[in-house]
Amino acid sequence: MVITPVSAVSGKPNLLLGAYEVDALGYRAEEFFVSGTASSYTADQHADYTTRIVVLTPMDHDAFNGTVIVEWLNVSGGIDAPAVWFMAHREIARDGYAYVAVSAQSVGVEGGASLVGADMSLKAQDPQRYSSLNHPGDAFAYDMFSQVGSLVKTGAIEQLDPEVVLAVGESQSAAYLTTYVNDVDPLAGVYDGFLVHSRFGPAAPLDGSSVYDASKPAAVDAVPFRPDLRVPTMTVITETDLVGGWRTGYHAARRPDNELFRAWEIPGTAHADNYTIRVGFIDTGSVPMADIVAAYAPTNELMGTRLSYCINFAPQHHYVLQAAIAALNTWVRTGEPAPAGQPMALTEADPPRLGLDANGIAEGGVRTPWVDVPIARTSGSAPQESPMSFLFGSGELFDTAALSALYPGGSGEYLARFTQALDRAIDSGFILPADRPEILELAAMTRWSEAEM
């Protein structure tokens, strides 16, 4: 691993963090180009590279909590996407984390294969700003990610001087992080903990070949996390990741929790949802709750396509992910393991399906009030009516008759039982106490009955 030079780049970074300026969260964003020589882990090859990182830090340096979250940016849409930031930025900002977004893969810099087929790479969007970047291919991405982590850890970037450095990644990035955890981390030893968010069964190829090449076993075979992990590692799994969506589900890669591993499987959730494409764009923590409620409202529109069903509109994915970040940070800092979650129930079918309760909601897993006291049936499964619709799951509000049967005392009974279920989830460690007031306000303002719609 070669130590690399870092160059600050003036101007606004090309990275969609939300429909707000990060100073609304009390943060500043700065962009740096990082250059060095990276090694491949499958051949004795070395290549020069220049990639970019975006560093978000609290404007009040005293607010920095000492932990840096380093995200392997997601390129499934043909663009660098800060997926973990997008889902969990409220917790990142309110607890004072620093955040580093890494353009780790070639697609984000140079363009290439994606689910939507569009080239929204850095060079395509702003060739003048990013023409000096050079990505030699994804066989070198793993070492590049290690080198950025080392720069962060040694205080070479933005004088952070961190106490803890965590690596995170979602979806395709989670597949790469799985390979990183299994094959690279034992050699590199850079990161203090890993959050692998929404992975399916397969891991990314180590040789840099495309994850979309189904002719290669590495792209389709399920790969568990290694049993002898070096540092605390968590994976957060939705219904889509477990049994639906893309190729082999995570169910085939399940492994038991141990002293350094936790898996949180969240019923009622999809790989992506309303928070991903609507709520997260505006959610600064100071937006009127009426706007948040409206953004969560069921919709059958997805990226310009009208579907025959509503995508998943459940809020728990966002809130549980925030709790996972906090739990991982505590685990690394104190040695207190993250809470253990039960797996979701599966049928004996081949391939297995989710075991459902009388309301059509998945049983088992990390329980939240939206599945224990439901007003809707939300799922990680959906027809593929657009290139990415299978990732967004589905949702259906209960009709008035179903709600009356579940809650004969009306909305008052519903809210009382919802509050009890929320407190159970908080006591179990799967939702943060800081989110309790907001969740209760959201529940109180949500149109819980079709008669009110």
pLDDT of residue 68: 98
pLDDT at res. 220: 77
φ, ψ for residue 430, nearest 5 deg: -100, -10
CA distances from 276 to 161, 303, 311, 313 (A): 32, 12, 11, 10
Positions in the chain short of pLDDT 50: 450-453
Helix (H) or strand (E) holding 123: helix 122-125
Query: What pLDDT digit, counting tens, does each position of 359-370 carry?
Result: 999 999 999 999
pLDDT at 114: 72
Residue 378 confidence (pLDDT): 98
What tens digit of pLDDT does each residue of 180-191 get?
999 999 999 999
Q: Cα–Cα distance between 15 and 101 in angstroms, integer?
A: 9
Q: For residue 127, what pLDDT is reported?
A: 95
**Type and span of the H or E element at 291:** helix 289-296
Domain formed by 1-231, architecture = 3-Layer(aba) Sandwich (3.40)
* Sequential DSSP letters for 170-236: ETHHHHHHHHIIIIIHHHH---SEEEEES--SB---TT---TT-TTSGGGTSB-PPPSS-SS-EEEE
pLDDT (0 to 100) of residue 355: 98
- Domains of the chain, by residue range, sit at 1-231
SS3 70: strand
Between the CA of residue 448 and those of 184, 398, 413, 417, 419, what are the distances in Å?
48, 9, 12, 13, 15
Task: Give the integer Cα–Cα distance in Å for 239 and 265.
Answer: 8
